[in-house]
Amino acid sequence: MIKVDLHTHTLASDGALQPAELVKRADRQGVQCLAVTDHDTCAGLAEARSMSETLGIKFIPGIELSTIWNGVGIHIVGLNIAENSTAMKVAVEYQSEARSQRADEIGIKLAKKQMPGVTALALELAAGAQIGRPHFAKAMVKLGYVKSEVEAFDRYLGAGKVGDIKCHWPELGQVVEWTRSAGGVAVLAHPGKYDMTWAKLRRFIEVFKDLGGEAMEISYGGENPDRLTHLAKMASQFQLKASVGSDFHNPRHQWTEVGKIPPIRGDYDPVWSDWV
C-alpha cells in the first residue's frame, strides 16, 4: 500500500520546519502522497509543492481550518484545495483577523494574571506565520512565567483555561463551504481529540455531513487503537471517506513523525484514492 500522510504543519503556522524541509523529511520517511495542512493559512503550499515535484512526491494542497460547534473548538482539514481561489483567500483573510483579535484577547487575559507582554513576544516569535497558541506557550517560557510549553498549555492555554478563547471562529457551515468552494474535500480532523462523548460526536458528524463534510480522519498519532477502530466504523456507518495524517509539527516531538500513521483495522474508503 502507498504511504500517505494528509495532515502536517510547517513554519507557516505552528510547525517547526520550513515547507521544503518538511517535504524532504517526508521523502526520507518514505511518504509518497503528502498534504501540507497549516492552521488557517496557505502560505507554505507553493514551497512545499515545488520540493514535492523535485522529489517526485504526490502533493496535496491543504489547510486546517478552526471552527466552533456547540461550544467545542473543532478542526476541519480541507484537502486538495485551490489555494489561489477566491474562497480560500476569503477564508485565510477571515481566519487571520480572527487569530489577530484572539491574540489581543489572550494577551489581556494573561496580563490580568500578572503576565504582561506575552502577545507582543508571541507575535515576534511567530515572525509573520499564522499565530497560534504554541507561539504563546513559547513566549510564556521565554518570559519566565512557566517552566515549559506543556505547563503553559496545562495551566493557561489548554481547553477550558483562560487563554482558550474560541469566540472568534467561524461556524462549521462556513468552513465547509469555503473548502468546497475552493474545490476541496472537508475532512473532520482527529475526531477523538475533542473530549466529546461518542453520542455527541455522532451528532456532530450528522451535522457535518449535512453541511457537506465528506471525510473524517480514522488514523492519526496519539490515539489508542480501539478508539481508532471505533472511528473507522463510524466513518463507514456515516458513509464518510477515510483520511489519515500524522499531524506532524516538530522533530523535537518524539511521539510524532511525518508519515507515522497507526495501522487501520477494518474496511474503509480512502479519500486519497482519486489522487494517487
Q: What span, in angstroms and rounded, lies between the C-alpha atoms of 2 and 31? A: 8
Coil vs helix vs strand at 179: helix
Return the number of the residue (112 or 218) whose C-beta is nearest Mn ion: 218
Q: Decide which of ligand AMP, Mn ion, none touches 153; Cβ closer than 5 to 8 Å per partner kind.
A: ligand AMP
Q: Decide which of Mn ion, ligand AMP, none touches 180; Cβ closer than 5 to 8 Å per partner kind.
A: none
* Residue 54: all three cell numbers together: 523535485
* Residue 49: all three cell numbers together: 509543492
Q: Decide which of ligand AMP, Mn ion, none touches 241; Cβ closer than 5 to 8 Å per partner kind.
A: none
Query: What is the closest distance, in whole angstroms, from the C-beta atom of residue 39 to ligand AMP in the complex?
Result: 5
Q: What span, in angstroms and rounded, lies between the C-alpha atoms of 215 and 189? A: 9
Return the number of the residue (192 or 270) whose C-beta is nearest ligand AMP: 192
Side chain identity at residue 160, one-letter code: G
CA 12, 244, 92, 118 torsion: positive or negative? negative
SS3 of 6-19:
CCECCCCCCCCCCH
Return the number of the residue (14 or 214) whose C-beta is nearest ligand AMP: 14
Query: What is the closest distance, in whole angstroms, from the C-beta atom of residue 179 to ligand AMP in the complex?
Result: 17
Query: What is the closest distance, in whole angstroms, from the C-beta atom of residue 140 to ligand AMP in the complex?
Result: 12
Q: Decide which of ligand AMP, Mn ion, none touches 208; Cβ closer than 5 to 8 Å per partner kind.
A: none
By CB under 6 A, name the binding residues for ligand AMP: 14, 39, 66, 132-134, 153, 158, 249
* Residue 146: all three cell numbers together: 512557566
Return the number of the residue (57 or 135) whose C-beta is nearest ligand AMP: 135
Which residue of this chain has its Cβ atom nearest to ligand AMP in the complex? 132
Q: Decide which of Mn ion, ligand AMP, none touches 158; Cβ closer than 5 to 8 Å per partner kind.
A: ligand AMP
97, 131, 158, 210, 241 from 219: Cα distances, Å: 31, 27, 23, 23, 12
Q: What span, in angstroms and rounded, lies between the C-alpha atoms of 29 and 31? A: 6
By CB under 5 A, name the binding residues for Mn ion: 14, 64, 75, 189, 247
Query: What is the closest distance, in whole angstroms, from the C-beta atom of residue 260 to Mn ion in the complex?
Result: 14
Query: What is the closest distance, in whole angstroms, from the C-beta atom of residue 275 to Mn ion in the complex?
Result: 19
Q: Decide which of Mn ion, ligand AMP, none touches 19; Cβ closer than 5 to 8 Å per partner kind.
A: none
Cα angle value 36/216/56 (rounded, 5°): 30
Residue among 101, 4, 2, 21 at smallest CA distance from 62: 4
Query: What is the closest distance, in whole angstroms, from the C-beta atom of residue 116 to Mn ion in the complex?
Result: 25
